[in-house]
Amino acid sequence: MKTIKKKIPKFKTVDEELKFWDNNDGTDYFNFKKLEKVSLPNLKPTTKMISLRLPESLLERLKTLANKNDVPYQSLIKILLSEKVNEEFKKVS
**Predicted TM-score of the model (pTM):** 0.53
Question: Which residues does 69 contact at the CB level (< 8 Å), separation at least 6?
Answer: 76
Predicted confidence (pLDDT) at residue 47 exceeds the cutoff of 60: yes
Predicted confidence (pLDDT) at residue 2 exceeds the cutoff of 80: no
Q: Write down the H helix ranges in 1-93.
A: 14-23, 56-68, 73-92
With a pLDDT cut of 70, the percent of the chain lying above it is: 95
Nearest to 79 by CA among 60, 61, 62, 56: 62
Backbone φ and ψ for 13, nearest 5 degrees, come out as -140, 165
